[in-house]
Amino acid sequence: MSKNERKTESIVRKHFENFSNEIILEEQSSDNPKIKKLLATASKNGLGVGFPEFIIQYKNNPDFLIVIECKADISKHESINRDKYKDFSVDGVLLYSSYLSKDFDVLSIAVSGEINTNKKVSHFLQVKGDKKATEIFSDKLLSADDYLNGYIKSPEKFRQDYEKLLTFSKDLNDKLHGQKIVESDRGLLISCILIALENKAFSISYKDYSEPKQLAEYLVTTVKNEFQNGNIGDEKLSILTSRFAFIKTDTSLSKKVNVLRDIISDINENIKDFIKTHEYFDVLGQLYIEFLRYANSDKGLGIVLTPPHITEFMSEVAEVNKDSTVYDNCTGTGGFLVSAMNLMIKGAKGDQEKIKNIKKNQLIGVEYQAHIFALACSNMFIHQDGKSNILNGSCFEESILEEVKKFKPTVGLLNPPYKSDKKNDIDEYEFILNNLDCLEQGGKCVAIIPMQSALAQTGKVYEYKKKVLEQHTLEAVFSMPDELFFNSKVNVVSCIMVFTAKRPHPKNKKVYFGYYKNDGFVKRKTKGRVDLYHKFEKEIKENWITTYMNKEEKAGFSVTKVVSADDEWCAEAYMETDYSNLSKDDFVKSIKDFVYFKELYL
């Protein structure tokens, strides 16, 4: 019995006609000249015009297309190599996507079968500029809204938007530098603008202010009112207002015509939508990292930021969930709290009461420096949560300790200030002990600190190692990439330590050591250190976490070992070499390196 492709097309047509208020449904060709031009050479035969069964455009999202190819026979859904474009629906629709994705983000849908209850459906997303399409969604036709939301929230769309954010952050930094706005004020300016843009009246009327001084006054007053309406408290409000006051006196912002207005417009167009789309990504922290890259000294600005992929990894290692109460006693801009909140809200699965409680009661931070404290409060405010639980002061103050312990934290996350050569600097272990002291018994603390703290076998740091084990359990130590903080220009090799709070370290307990030196990131001149090939996102992070959770031992990667304070706490000291990965080229390189070293130094 012959198959009738018109039946398949009818199924698809009836489905999408339900969403005519949102989409434009076209068949075989499009009236859109850009689409028509892209399909001009997209024939499945290799010559001439391509004619997809359906082309769908969104009325309010012109950069996103859906293209659909149909086959009546289910056996003609997909070929092994996806290269029989004329005969198989998947093959054909991916061909059209390869042409259309030169100018659009494209969702390709392949539908095969004549009966609605017995059909095959495959979905692929190919964002503009990507060479390959990625499978997405389930094997059912979805609503127009579901397709749009899935596209907007997809990893592929995030990568595309993130690339744009990085480019914009560099351009913005150059612009602020050109206006002589100092590095330490740039993050505050951005956060102030982002908060003000959440106010509908401000977002509509700021362009009407031609007088720069009046606009600067309006900006700061709007943010003050926003914080005041958020019941942040008089003391915090006073600190924040004083930190933002420079905007009203800065020569470029308050006296030069259109400078402040143009900066606000740029941020409104390039950052505000990113925050709405990718709600729990630490945009402010990422921008601050960009500003730090051009500063003379990170320590001069008072902060070294943990890269976002590491704050996310550490949150997962700490097993953060919807019932966790998370504490960061070295909050910085709030990156750890934002990453933890992301996991917690995902775990809440739409329970609005739970999400409200997470934001109100389950995120606690302490930041000592006033200008960084202002950034942290702003960051949490932008994410509509937790600003009331960011405390300004020393995490060692008795009053702050008492306040934090009221929340009964179950998870600690921190990147403590790295001490300089000064003798009176607070040791990193003191911050770890401080964090652990605030956690409930059995709580997890995950900290990233310099590797030298793990290696000490004598002196003051060694005494801290003993003290930690006397009171708490060391679960794991991960040796991190040597240039992890490359974007912040900090020359430190780091490790991540995992502790269980208030349970003394058992004498014969094995500790997990991971050699997590390769996170897949590469250095690029204009972007710093980036996950260019998406290796960390797609495979490395999951491997790191799974191997740790299962305490697996892998040659050259991980090992478990009984240790005490007398030992070095790092994988390099104990793991076996995986000789199966060594090649002749590795041997030749080692010999050359030795010869070169011998000529120079021996």
pLDDT tens digit sequence for 523-574:
887 777 888 888 998 899 999 999 999 999 999 999 999 999 999 999 999 9
User: CA 77, CA 72: separation in Å to the nearest integer?
Assistant: 9
Least confident of 146-150, 384-388, 405-409: 384-388
Task: Tell whether 286 is covered by a domain.
Answer: no
Strands (E), 54-197: 54-58, 61-71, 105-115, 118-126, 134-135
φ, ψ for residue 159, nearest 5 deg: -60, -45
Strands (E), 368-524: 390-392, 411-414, 444-450, 473-479, 494-500, 510-515, 522-524
361: exposed, middle or buried (Cβ count in 10 Å: 0-12, 13-18, 19+): middle
Residue 228: pLDDT band with limits 50, 70, 90: confident
By residue count, the chain amounts to 602
Strands (E), 351-420: 363-367, 390-392, 411-414
Task: Tell whether 485 is covered by a domain.
Answer: yes
Q: Single out the residue of 114, 110, 116 nearest to residue 70, CA to CA.
A: 110
Quickly tell me which residue has 């208020």 as its tokens: 21
Helices (H), strands (E): how many in the chain?
Answer: 25, 17
Let me know whether 502 and 454 are in one domain.
yes
Task: Tell whether 387 is covered by a domain.
Answer: yes
User: CA 442, CA 410: separation in Å to the nearest integer?
Assistant: 8
Amino acid identity, residue 378? S
User: CA 178, CA 465: separation in Å to the nearest integer?
Assistant: 47
- The pLDDT of residue 293: 57
> 297: alpha, beta or left, given left = phi > 0 and alpha = psi -120 to 50?
beta
Residue 387: pLDDT band with limits 50, 70, 90: low
Average pLDDT value for residue range 97-106: 95
Let me know whether 368 and 497 are in one domain.
yes
| Higher-scoring residue by pLDDT: 307, 381 | 307
363 with 337: CB under 8 angstroms? yes
Residue 283 has pLDDT above 80, yes or no: no
Let me know whether 450 and 348 are in one domain.
yes
Q: Single out the residue of 441, 366, 363 nearest to residue 407, CA to CA.
A: 363
Please provide the average confidence, as pLDDT, over all residues in the chain: 88
Let me know whether 15 and 141 are in one domain.
yes
Let me know whether 340 and 416 are in one domain.
yes
Which of 113, 134, 150 terminates a domain? The answer is 150
Let me know whether 13 and 130 are in one domain.
yes
User: CA 155, CA 137: separation in Å to the nearest integer?
Assistant: 12
Least confident of 191-200, 252-261, 503-512, 521-530: 521-530
- The pLDDT of residue 596: 44
Let me know whether 460 and 547 are in one domain.
yes
User: CA 54, CA 166: separation in Å to the nearest integer?
Assistant: 35
Write out pLDDT tens, residues 289-308: 666 555 544 444 445 679 88
Signed CA dihedral, 501, 502, 506, 507: sign only = positive
- The pLDDT of residue 1: 47
Average pLDDT value for residue range 326-344: 92
What CATH number is associated with residue 127? Answer: 3.90.1570
End-to-end CA distance of the chain: 84
Q: Cα angle vertex 287, ends 177, 428, to 5°? A: 110
User: CA 291, CA 395: separation in Å to the nearest integer?
Assistant: 26
Task: Tell whether 602 is covered by a domain.
Answer: no
Let me know whether 440 and 569 are in one domain.
yes
The DSSP call for residue 554 is: B
Residue 445's Cβ-side half-sphere holds a number of Cα atoms within 13 Å equal to 32
Task: Tell whether 598 is covered by a domain.
Answer: no
**Cα-based torsion angle of the residue sequence 264, 296, 416, 407 in order, rounded to the nearest 10 degrees:** -20
Which of 101, 127, 150 terminates a domain? The answer is 150
Task: Tell whether 591 is covered by a domain.
Answer: no
Domain count, the chain: 3
How many of the other CB atoms lie within 10 Å of CB of 460?
A: 10
In DSSP notation, 411-426 reads EEEE-PPPP-S-TTSP
Let me know whether 177 and 29 are in one domain.
no
User: CA 123, CA 121: separation in Å to the nearest integer?
Assistant: 7
| Residues of the chain above pLDDT 70, percent | 90
User: CA 560, CA 310: separation in Å to the nearest integer?
Assistant: 22
- SS3 of residue 465 by DSSP: helix
Let me know whether 430 and 569 are in one domain.
yes
Q: Which domain holds residue 87?
A: 5-150
Task: Tell whether 290 is covered by a domain.
Answer: no
Write out pLDDT tens, residues 357-371: 998 899 999 999 888
Residue 579 has pLDDT above 70, yes or no: no
Let me know whether 186 and 121 are in one domain.
no
Task: Tell whether 298 is covered by a domain.
Answer: no
Residue ranges of the alpha helices (H) in 210-271? 212-229, 234-244, 251-255, 259-270
